[in-house]
Structure 1
Amino acid sequence: MFMATVDSSIVIISMPAIFRGIHLDPFAAGNISYLLWMIMGYLLVTAVLVVTLGRLGDIVGRVRMYNLGFVVFTAASVALSFDPMHGGAGALWLILWRVVQALGGAMLMANSAAILTDAFPAHQRGMALGINQISALSGQFVGLVLGGLLSAWDWRAVFWVNVPVGVFGTIWAYRSLRELSARRKARIDWWGNIAFAGGCGLLLVSITYGIQPYGSDTMGWTSPKVLAGLIGGAALLVVFGIVETRVPEPMFHLGLFRNRHFAAGNAASLLASIARGGLQFMLIIWLQGIWLPLHGYDFADTPLWAGIFLLPLTAGFLLSGPLSGALSDRFGVRWFTTGGLVLFGGSFIGLLLLPITFPYWAFALLIMCNGMGSGMFSAPNTSAIMSSVPAAYRGAASGMRSTFQNSGTSLSIGVFFSLLIVGLAHRLPGTLEAGLRAQGVPASVAHHAASLPPVSTVFSAFLGVNPVQTLLGPSGVLHTLPARNQAVLTGNKFFPNLISGPFHHGLIIVFATAAAMSLLAATASALRGNPRPVELPPAGRRAGAKAAKQ
């Protein structure tokens, strides 16, 4: 699970090195799509396929699907590291093999929680699933640091790192894992699978294109294709719901949502994922575009240091997750999940109140609280969800849980990024034009640069490139200015000071929305009640311990 989720974030920090390695300018016309698909493609595939692959695991064997996932993931990692092409063709090679890699990752994600639920008795399940869940969540943030370190050496190492782990994991899984679940023959629900994959896929693809510029608009939400995709995706999900109530052996039994613990747990997971998913993007842009340059770091070095400065977030996950999972086995899940979400939401309020040039100790404390709150919630919530369904449907239930989590992350990126861009679009153009003209940039060039979509400015900071060079480089005007003005414009202070006001306005909107989502998730979690762990009789404990040992 750690390996699968590391790869959802490891390329984020590695993007500058990857684009340099394949000789592609991400800011040239039409190339923003490559950048977004490199990030979003993996998330989209895992979100769409986990339910189908989880249900398939119920039918053909969860261990069999999990082991195959290791093989596919490792083979794709090898192919990614040997990209033979450059330019747009090289980018397409990486995107397509990232999709294959995501297929393997989805097999792992869909079946790992179900395998652990089969193997561990109820009084140990929270600890086991807690370790699994925190491995997944911490992987998202460790990937940021790992990507920065490896890409500084060689961009291909970002994909090489998976190969030895994948080979070892494949051999270990085939030698050691045994099928504990009773396989139940069933027909594959083709129409349900097609409707669900099509509906989720259309929605998430539309979100990916919605955050790109369209015509003269700063974003693509008014594009007919985006609107058609959103409407069509929603319609297909309605069709999926109808199909699942009509077929004798559905892909997913919607009747499971009548179980309050299952329904409330998944609702809380979706809302928490929306609050958390876009957080790393906002924090990275904040650090790379403003805070780190103002503290003397070169733009080219900011991707690596952003990952390092976000380590307290990962530490919070690692400290609270397994401990909360183990304690919830004894004391129940509601207080841990609800309390964790309250702490999680409170950290967003704290981030909202921070000044744009914050003292690092306050920032580190708040993101550690964010990680601790997320860890307190995630492990017991996963245990409660998986313990609330019949054994025969654990694969599909695990897939649905992963779908809510992964879809929430993708949806969060679309929602938060759009909110940020809206905030920048209202305030940045005037501020940017005035700042450029004050440094001698001709009025026409300054006006043109200020009228460019804010998304290009944000991605410049995101990729560790000086945004002023991105804005003025194509015009050639930068080299015609006096040396003093050039030094000011390309220095570490000009752009961060210029953008800090508009960016902070956008951040307030984003963090306020995340806090509201967290509190809604806490409410959903509290409504589940407080189910006590099932107490096994001595014989049951021995059987459970034997199963776990096997």
Structure 2
Amino acid sequence: MRDHPPGGPLRTFIITGVALFMVTLDNLIVTNALPAIRADLGTGLEGLEWTVNAYTIASAVLLLPAASIADRHGRRRLFLGGLALFTLASAAAALAPNVGVLIAARAVQGAGGAIVAPLTLTLLAAAVPAARRGAALAAWSVMSGLGVALGPVVGGAVTEYASWEWIFWINVPVGAVLLVLAPGFLAESHGPAKRLDPLGTLLVTGGVLGVVLGLVRGNEHGWTSAQVLGALIGGAVLLAAFVAHELRTAHPMLPMGLFRDRGFSTVNLVGIAMAFAMFGSTFLLSQFMQGVMGYSPLEAGVRSLPWTGMPILVAPLTAPLIARFGGRAVLAAGLVLQAAGLGWIAAVLTPGLGYGEAVPGFVLAGAGMGLFFPPVARLVLGFAPPALSGVASGVSNVVRQLGTVLGVAVLGTVFAANGDMTTPRAFADGLDVALWAGTGVLAAGALISLLIPARTPDGSEPEPAPVAGPVAEPVTG
């Protein structure tokens, strides 16, 4: 429902496109700043894991509630609130005197990102005439892809030529300008009023935090210690309580009925596998490139482009491939290429690894990501009831975010159990095992993808319905 005349498609795209680019940039901008943060704040692997995961956890658990609040209280109004929150949290992260404050600021940043990112799509779709909506949404996807591709490069350049704090400071003037312009550029609109699920949000937040806390502290404190076992068991109990609550409540945050469809469940399972392996590996590889290969933050960012930039080149090729071979086959091929890419890097990994040796692995993994995302989006919507297409899109993004959280935690734990960051040999030993673990998860995901039904229960091919009240988020980690 539109409340006020729109500011026009171009003005809407300017605001939403820049905001989307800023938020997606921040997902990976921190990767090449992690070694500098570790040295400056005196933290270890656990602190770095939480620096990444605090953002992702907050974003994942607040994505769906934020969309419901926006529909009820006004999308432009909540967009402005989320943008202000993201901007203020960026300043707090830049001023952080220790890793604890930085982690807290990153969590607030993630909350702001969970509000802003999906609303950029909702506001843009509402402002653009139906005949031009396809082109507008393609442009939206390009802004998201550029944020992902350039995040490591921008983060590396800023860290190298200024300091790691400036990867957060750069958001402040951009956010301030958007906050000034947005009220006059964006139209206010509301969606269907939905009941919130505060208990479900609290349960899933506590459950994920407990499980991740246990995973990241297991090696340091012992897997049988009261602290670690308590966190793991407590987290598992809260997650079980979340599932039970969602099955009973009349207004669930995460409609469990969607998962009764084998196609929907399987697609989301392989989405978790992909996020787990690829983004957990990225967390470790970005530090290896600086700590062992000897690259500066900018050099490491530029050299990651064959991985992070390849999806922009490959994704446009997926439409004819899907038309010829079907979404399931293209999805499986994407996972196979990603497994081959990680496996290549693991196979050639040594303390003296040269960049040229790793490039084929980067290219294969990046091409696999480019083949993966378009069909997974189509299949998620194709197996969901049309009335729940927006919710299904949001659920898919939430579970992939949670896969990222678990990937950073679990692969970080595998790394710590087999090596450390003290010497090149120890770093390579730990990273090698972690990469092979990621390769195995991707290979398993490729096999699981073959279980995706070729047709929906009514016998039709899984073609996506138009998203009703878009709830989507840029795909990153």
How high is the TM-score relative to the length of structure 1?
0.69
**Alignment check: 8 A CA contact 1:2 1:139 kept:** yes
1:505, distance to aligned residue in structure 2 (A): 4.3
One-letter identity of the residue aligned with 2:411: F
How high is the TM-score relative to the length of structure 2?
0.79
One-letter identity of the residue aligned with 1:286: F
Pairing partner for 1:399 from 376, 380, 394: 394
CA separation of 1:354 and 1:326: change in aligned 2, threshold 3 A: same
Structure-to-structure mapping, 1:251-266, within 5 angstroms: 251-266=253-268
- Structure 2 spans left out of the alignment, 5+ residues: 1-19, 456-460, 467-477
Q: Does 1:281 align with 2:283?
A: yes
Q: Could you tell me which residue of structure 1 aligns to residue 339 of structure 2?
A: 345
- Per-residue CA shift, 1:65-116, capped at 9, x if unaligned? 44432232123224444x2x74x4xx44433322221111111345556667
1:323, distance to aligned residue in structure 2 (A): 3.8
CA separation of 1:136 and 1:266: change in aligned 2, threshold 3 A: farther
Q: Does 1:159 align with 2:159?
A: no
Structure-to-structure mapping, 1:117-128, within 5 angstroms: none
CA separation of 1:207 and 1:387: change in aligned 2, threshold 3 A: same
- CA distance in 2: counterparts of 1:120 and 1:382, whole angstroms: 21
Q: Could you tell me which residue of structure 2 aligns to residue 37 of structure 1?
A: 50
- CA distance in 2: counterparts of 1:511 and 1:24, whole angstroms: 27
1:518, distance to aligned residue in structure 2 (A): 1.2
Q: Could you tell me which residue of structure 1 aligns to residue 447 of structure 2?
A: 523
1:255, distance to aligned residue in structure 2 (A): 0.6
1:517, distance to aligned residue in structure 2 (A): 1.3
Pairing partner for 1:324 from 308, 311, 318: 318
Pairing partner for 2:109 from 93, 101, 106: 101
Worse-superposed segment, 511-520 or 350-359 = 350-359
Structure-to-structure mapping, 1:76-87, within 5 angstroms: 76-81=89-94, 83=95, 86=97
**Alignment check: 8 A CA contact 1:130 1:326 kept:** no
Over the matched positions of the two proteins, sequence identity in percent amounts to: 31
- CA distance in 1: counterparts of 2:131 and 2:115, whole angstroms: 27
Q: Describe the SS at the equivalent of 2:378.
A: helix
- CA distance in 2: counterparts of 1:399 and 1:49, whole angstroms: 11
Q: Does 1:314 align with 2:308?
A: yes
CA separation of 1:221 and 1:57: change in aligned 2, threshold 3 A: farther
- CA distance in 2: counterparts of 1:225 and 1:281, whole angstroms: 25
Pairing partner for 2:69 from 56, 64, 86: 56
Pairing partner for 1:185 from 178, 193, 196: 193
CA separation of 1:320 and 1:57: change in aligned 2, threshold 3 A: farther
Q: Could you tell me which residue of structure 1 aligns to residue 23 of structure 2?
A: 4
One-letter identity of the residue aligned with 1:187: R
- CA distance in 2: counterparts of 1:422 and 1:36, whole angstroms: 15
**Alignment check: 8 A CA contact 2:201 2:253 kept:** yes
CA separation of 1:405 and 1:138: change in aligned 2, threshold 3 A: farther
- CA distance in 2: counterparts of 1:262 and 1:117, whole angstroms: 25
- Per-residue CA shift, 1:425-483, capped at 9, x if unaligned? xxxxxxxxxxxxxxxxxxxxxxxxxxxxx3xxx1xxxxxxxx5xxxxxxxxxxxxxxxx
Worse-superposed segment, 142-151 or 6-15 = 6-15
- CA distance in 1: counterparts of 2:431 and 2:37, whole angstroms: 28
1:131, distance to aligned residue in structure 2 (A): 6.5
1:342, distance to aligned residue in structure 2 (A): 1.4
**Alignment check: 8 A CA contact 2:61 2:201 kept:** no
Pairing partner for 1:25 from 33, 42, 48: 42
CA separation of 1:104 and 1:359: change in aligned 2, threshold 3 A: same
- CA distance in 2: counterparts of 1:290 and 1:9, whole angstroms: 20
One-letter identity of the residue aligned with 1:264: T
- CA distance in 1: counterparts of 2:370 and 2:129, whole angstroms: 22
- CA distance in 2: counterparts of 1:406 and 1:190, whole angstroms: 20
**Alignment check: 8 A CA contact 2:276 2:406 kept:** yes
- CA distance in 1: counterparts of 2:132 and 2:265, whole angstroms: 23
CA separation of 1:33 and 1:268: change in aligned 2, threshold 3 A: closer
One-letter identity of the residue aligned with 1:223: S
1:146, distance to aligned residue in structure 2 (A): 1.5
- CA distance in 2: counterparts of 1:328 and 1:120, whole angstroms: 27
**Alignment check: 8 A CA contact 2:51 2:102 kept:** yes
**Backbone CA RMSD of aligned residues:** 3.6
CA separation of 1:64 and 1:390: change in aligned 2, threshold 3 A: farther
1:319, distance to aligned residue in structure 2 (A): 1.0
One-letter identity of the residue aligned with 2:395: M
Whose radius of gyration is greater, 1 or 2? 1
**Alignment check: 8 A CA contact 1:130 1:379 kept:** no
- Structure 1 spans left out of the alignment, 5+ residues: 215-219, 293-300, 425-453, 459-466, 468-494, 541-550
